[in-house]
Structure 1
Amino acid sequence: MTETPPLVVDIDGTLTDESRAVDPRVFPVLSEWPEQVVIATGKAMPYPIALCEFLGIDYTVIAENGGVVFVEATDTLQIEGDKAACLAVAEAYRELGYEMGFGEVDLANRWRETEVVVNLSQPEEPLQRLAEEHGLEFLDTGFAYHVTDARIDKGTGLHAVCAELDREPESFLAVGDSENDAEVFEVAGESVAVANADETAKSRADRVTTAPYADGFLEAVEPYR
């Protein structure tokens, strides 16, 4: 059996099915993985923390596309990003007559500390234009539009995790499905895009699975099980 590497893995579209429900078959894989597991997501920090909690693994997470990094082993929280500029984009977007698209309570943005997200039901072009005007990054993850600081991404997040754990990013296996995974693919030693991944992720990956979604994740890690 090939030596098992540490793992950095996305959630939506990678550990889930098409409806964004986490596939229960991934639970034993992640909870029994013999090396370090890092959950890297565009979601706010409570989501990957909750996943780690219920998996029974250390809280080692990259949230908000690298804007928030928490490493339980060193009790370290890193928050990087120009939230004020992102909020300015959101305000300008609303002034044009658009909405975030998540309802009055807006759980998608409620706990965010470094970026804002907009529902895919809302117009893309004006949001992208406003992000560019403010010097920010616009990402379409396939699940939401993200406006975030261009200086941070999941790759910088993995570097931050590795600095805390005294590990090398090149030792990691990365699995994901979207353009927000492309940067972590660049710094990881091995990268795998699941079959439902967008073209940016596929072009940056070392290999692409034949199966989509969680089936693709299981295929990606099969050589190490």
Structure 2
Amino acid sequence: MVPPLVLDIDGTLTDAQSRLDPRAFDVLPSWDAPVILATGKAFPYPVSLCHYLGLPETVIAENGGVVLVDGEVTYAGNREAAQAVADEFVARGGDLGWGTADTVNRWRETEIAVSLDADEALLRDVADAFDLEVIDTGFAYHVKSHGVEKGVGLEHVCETIDYDPEDFVAIGDSENDASTFRVVGQSYAVANADEVAKAAADEVLEESYMDGTYSVLDALRE
């Protein structure tokens, strides 16, 4: 029997160009245990990916800010406070970096994401003033409430689906995956992971991106 999975998306199910690796469609739809997508992306992204993979819509989005399980959506964090940080950041000369349409934040419900090209020191200074935190996922800076984490989201999912977090195998690449790594039974950081994720993981893989993820999934199926 294969174990349940909790998988990051960007940097974990993708290639170095941020493209979804087609091998996800080979292995995940037939996985004979729950598969949870846990991401820093806005809520619609993992829901859409579940749809196209043919997976039940069980997701942890916005770094734990939004959780969908068994048809019920729950929220954590303060979107208004995060928006206030963004507004003050811009007022002080910062740039969120996404242009007028801002499709990165348009559907985001619990936090604000800021381009990695932005003034990190200024952003962190403003966030501190509002008692919020900034995490660097390798794809964006995320302004969010303290205590909102993927690992907490996984614990909520497990309460609903009657699993223990220690039943799960987790794979990820960023500091936002460290909280997941701390609560699951076995965790892997792909080779492209940041130092926080590598330090939190039980094992650091030799392969990067989906190459690393696929090596774990293939071994678990044996």
Same fold, judged at TM 0.5 (above): yes
Equivalent position SS for 1:110:
coil
Aligned to 2:43: 45
Equivalent position SS for 1:183:
helix
CA distance in 2, matches of 1:40, 1:169: 13
Equivalent position SS for 1:203:
helix
Task: Kindly state the Cα deviation for residue 84 of structure 1 after the two structures are TM-superposed.
Answer: 1.4
Equivalent position SS for 2:105:
helix
CA distance in 2, matches of 1:152, 1:140: 14
Residue 7 (1) aligns with residue 5 (2): yes
Equivalent position SS for 1:215:
helix
Residue 32 (1) aligns with residue 60 (2): no
Aligned to 2:67: 69
Residue 211 (1) aligns with residue 169 (2): no
Q: Deviations over 1:76-124 (max 9, x none)?
A: 1101111111111101100111121111000000001100000111111
Aligned to 1:180: 176
CA distance in 1, matches of 2:159, 2:73: 13
Equivalent position SS for 2:28:
helix
How many aligned positions are there?
Answer: 221
> Aligned match of 1:17 in 5, 10, 15?
15
Equivalent position SS for 1:78:
strand
Task: Kindly state the Cα deviation for residue 32 of structure 1 after the two structures are TM-superposed.
Answer: 1.1
Q: Deviations over 1:156-182 (max 9, x none)?
A: 110111111111111000000000000
The letter for the 1-side match of 2:78 is: D
Unpaired stretches in structure 2, ≥5 consecutive residues: none
RMSD between aligned residues: 0.8
CA distance in 1, matches of 2:166, 2:126: 35
The letter for the 1-side match of 2:23 is: R
CA distance in 2, matches of 1:130, 1:189: 37
TM-score normalised to structure 1 length: 0.96
Residue 171 (1) aligns with residue 167 (2): yes
Aligned to 2:190: 194
For the 8 Å contact 2:94–2:122, the answer to whether it is kept is no
Residue 221 (1) aligns with residue 217 (2): yes
CA distance in 1, matches of 2:125, 2:31: 42
Residue 148 (1) aligns with residue 148 (2): no
CA distance in 2, matches of 1:28, 1:84: 40
CA distance in 2, matches of 1:137, 1:36: 31
The share of aligned pairs that are identical, in percent, is 51
> Aligned match of 1:82 in 58, 71, 78?
78
The letter for the 2-side match of 1:49 is: V
Aligned to 1:58: 56
Task: Kindly state the Cα deviation for residue 220 of structure 1 after the two structures are TM-superposed.
Answer: 2.1
> Aligned match of 2:111 in 112, 115, 120?
115
Task: Kindly state the Cα deviation for residue 222 of structure 1 after the two structures are TM-superposed.
Answer: 2.4
Task: Kindly state the Cα deviation for residue 25 of structure 1 after the two structures are TM-superposed.
Answer: 1.1
Equivalent position SS for 1:129:
helix
CA distance in 1, matches of 2:148, 2:161: 19
The letter for the 1-side match of 2:146 is: A
Task: Kindly state the Cα deviation for residue 184 of structure 1 after the two structures are TM-superposed.
Answer: 0.4
